[in-house]
Chain A
Amino acid sequence: MAEENIIETTGLTRRFGGLTAVANLTLQVPAGSVYGFLGPNGAGKTTTIRMLLGLIRPDAGQVRLFGQTLGLGPRKALSRVGALVETPSIYPHLTGRENLEVTRRLLRVPAARIDRALEIVGLENAAGRRAGEYSQGMRQRLGLALALLADVELLILDEPTNGLDPAGIREIRDLIRRLSSEFRMTVFLSSHLLSEVEQVATRLGIVNHGRLLFQGRPDELKARLNRYLTLAAEPRVRAERLLAEAGWRLLPTDNGHLKVAAGCPADAAKLNAQLIQAGIQVSHLCLEQPSLEELFLDVTQGV
């Protein structure tokens, strides 16, 4: 039976003492998607992922993987899941191949899976070296290889590019694309960096202070905020007063330019005419489309 949502949570909640790390989280991760789970540090991403994998029990709510509720009993659903949570879990005194062999024995999968996993992550030549000698990027790739040993359909990656240089980040990003397109995996990927997620994600979930602030496609997020005008006008204070009296909505700004909510080029022309008629000099006027980064900050700082 094909599941519509590979991951589904309802009202997921977890507290640590007086701190609510995750509050009433309801996620839907469609099959075949690359789901970018975003939020600032401390937003509740890792706690959520640990609950998805059964590492932490929720105080309330439910996790369903492949349509099965995750509980303390036999966790068959996890046989279809590969995970990399924070730092890769490797034994430095064993070689890369031996590290994979440890997990292979636990999973009772064929020995050929090791070579396949090494080939996917590009570690064939380094497999005979001790994992303790690996670079950070190689360790991350070994962690991914561990997650790919079984015949998984869902990959859960928690900050997989942590500590990597730009080349390493690009490698991981390309690998995620390949896993999604070539191997038809569903990828649930968490990060605090929108820039590394927006290039691969087909669906986004934004969380902060444990609450889900947005869930949907990237274009749906972009549609949430309107365009705006940035302008430089002198005298500035008189320009601000005039615009406010004329009914324009002034937006917060962190540089010398004014920022005004606007919808179309005609608004720019109308505003420009009003300012010039009032004797205000306009040296810069631009209609902007907010970047996903600005939208992300707007959504997360709005809580």
Chain B
Amino acid sequence: MTGFLRDLGAALSAETLKTKRTLALRLAFVAPLLVVFLEFLIFWQHGAKAGRSGRGIWVSFMQNSLVLWQLLMVPLFVTLQTALLAGLEHSNKNWKHLFALPVSRQAIYSAKQLVALALIGISTHVLWVAVIAAGLVLRLLMPGIGFEAPVPAWRILQFALLSYVCSWLIIAIHTWVAMRSSSFVMAMGVGVAVTIVAVIALQSEYNVYYPWTLPAVVTRGAIVGGQLNYLALGCGALGGIALAILAGLEFSRRDVI
């Protein structure tokens, strides 16, 4: 175990250097800012009508941003980030070099997985900070629609983190797809397909079972009903961890032809 952790530390250090001069970190900032900006425009145009009845305008703004983020942006964004990380090795046929080193293959896979999680984590934090910043700007531009109320920063952060933890299963799936296939088209194809299905599946009674709608369903339940679906949360979080470990084991045993 100590050896694995040492290898993991080394692999993480190497992985952070590999992302230098790539779009990974810039994407992590641009994607959530784009979502919040879109929502800002909607609220700027429609004012209080853009909010949801029964909830404060701050929570409405956060919820609208989260829906856009979770349903449309996250699957495609996660696809892009995981394809970028895996593509660093695929495009230069670097697996033969990495797997011939005296470093645990599971550690190499895990490092990729953790960097993907970190990038999405950064995006999540950018998202909730941007929501607050956008709300403060709307407070100045459109007084009287409700943004004068105290900023429910803790609630906004909680919903953002809830969404993130529920997304771990999605991140694990897309990491595995990207690592297994050297084709960027394959990875993007999967990302587009699951996104389209998610938009439809959200209306279904089985929406909590579909990994790509699970974060939206859990977050909506927490915001609207004030209740946390622990089972779904567990599926998203623990399912993500379990899949990441199994996928790493499977990937490690593959021949590098």
Binds B, one of A95-103, A166-174, A201-209, A271-279: A95-103
Taking the complex as formed, is A286 at the interface, i.e. its CB lies under 8 A from any CB of chain B?
no
A131: shortest Cβ distance to chain B, in Å? 9
Contacts of A87 in B (CB 8 A): 93
A218: shortest Cβ distance to chain B, in Å? 28
The 8 Å CB contact of A102, one of B14, B21, B99, B255, is B14
A146: shortest Cβ distance to chain B, in Å? 7
B92: shortest Cβ distance to chain A, in Å? 6
The 8 Å CB contact of B96, one of A50, A75, A79, A81, is A50
The 8 Å CB contact of A85, one of B14, B92, B96, B102, is B96
Asked if A91 contacts B10 (CB within 8 A), the reply is: no
Taking the complex as formed, is A89 at the interface, i.e. its CB lies under 8 A from any CB of chain B?
yes
Asked if B103 contacts A55 (CB within 8 A), the reply is: no
Taking the complex as formed, is A54 at the interface, i.e. its CB lies under 8 A from any CB of chain B?
yes
Contact with B along A227-270 (1 / 0, CB 8 A): 00000000000000000000000000000000000000000000
Interface majority SS (helix, strand, loop, mixed), chain A? loop
Asked if A50 contacts B257 (CB within 8 A), the reply is: yes
Contacts of B253 in A (CB 8 A): 72
Asked if A55 contacts B99 (CB within 8 A), the reply is: yes
Taking the complex as formed, is A145 at the interface, i.e. its CB lies under 8 A from any CB of chain B?
no
Asked if A74 contacts B14 (CB within 8 A), the reply is: no
Taking the complex as formed, is A120 at the interface, i.e. its CB lies under 8 A from any CB of chain B?
no
Taking the complex as formed, is A282 at the interface, i.e. its CB lies under 8 A from any CB of chain B?
no
Taking the complex as formed, is B20 at the interface, i.e. its CB lies under 8 A from any CB of chain A?
yes
Binds B, one of A5-13, A37-45, A104-112: A104-112
Taking the complex as formed, is B94 at the interface, i.e. its CB lies under 8 A from any CB of chain A?
yes
Asked if A98 contacts B96 (CB within 8 A), the reply is: no
The 8 Å CB contact of B14, one of A55, A75, A77, A105, is A105
A114: shortest Cβ distance to chain B, in Å? 13
Contacts of B20 in A (CB 8 A): 93-94, 98
Asked if A55 contacts B96 (CB within 8 A), the reply is: yes
A74-B3, A103-B101 known; A91-B257 Cβ under 8 A: no
A136: shortest Cβ distance to chain B, in Å? 14
Report Cα–Cα, A146/B100, bound state, in Å.
12
A87: shortest Cβ distance to chain B, in Å? 6
Taking the complex as formed, is B49 at the interface, i.e. its CB lies under 8 A from any CB of chain A?
no
Contacts of A108 in B (CB 8 A): 6, 10
Taking the complex as formed, is B181 at the interface, i.e. its CB lies under 8 A from any CB of chain A?
no
Taking the complex as formed, is A56 at the interface, i.e. its CB lies under 8 A from any CB of chain B?
yes
Taking the complex as formed, is A224 at the interface, i.e. its CB lies under 8 A from any CB of chain B?
no
Contacts of B22 in A (CB 8 A): 93
Q: Which of B1-30 contact A (CB under 8 A)?
A: 3, 6, 10-11, 13-14, 17-18, 20-22
Q: Which residue of B lies closest to A83 (CB)?
A: B100
The 8 Å CB contact of B94, one of A50, A57, A91, A105, is A91
Report Cα–Cα, A92/B102, bound state, in Å.
23
Taking the complex as formed, is A31 at the interface, i.e. its CB lies under 8 A from any CB of chain B?
no
Taking the complex as formed, is B97 at the interface, i.e. its CB lies under 8 A from any CB of chain A?
yes
Asked if B101 contacts A91 (CB within 8 A), the reply is: no
Asked if A55 contacts B255 (CB within 8 A), the reply is: yes
Q: Which residue of B lies closest to A74 (CB)?
A: B3
A58: shortest Cβ distance to chain B, in Å? 10
Q: Which of B51-67 contact A (CB under 8 A)?
A: none
B14: shortest Cβ distance to chain A, in Å? 4
Report Cα–Cα, A57/B254, bound state, in Å.
9
Asked if B93 contacts A78 (CB within 8 A), the reply is: no
Asked if A89 contacts B14 (CB within 8 A), the reply is: no
Q: Which 8 A-B pairs have the closest CB atoms?
A: A89-B97, A79-B102, A55-B256, A89-B94, A53-B100, A78-B102, A105-B14, A105-B13
Known: A72-B253, A103-B101. 18 other contacts (CB 8 A): A54-B100, A56-B257, A81-B100, A83-B97, A85-B96, A85-B97, A89-B94, A89-B98, A91-B18, A93-B20, A94-B18, A98-B20, A103-B97, A105-B13, A106-B10, A106-B11, A106-B98, A107-B103
8 interchain pairs, CB-CB under 8 A = A53-B96, A83-B97, A91-B92, A92-B92, A94-B17, A94-B20, A103-B101, A105-B17
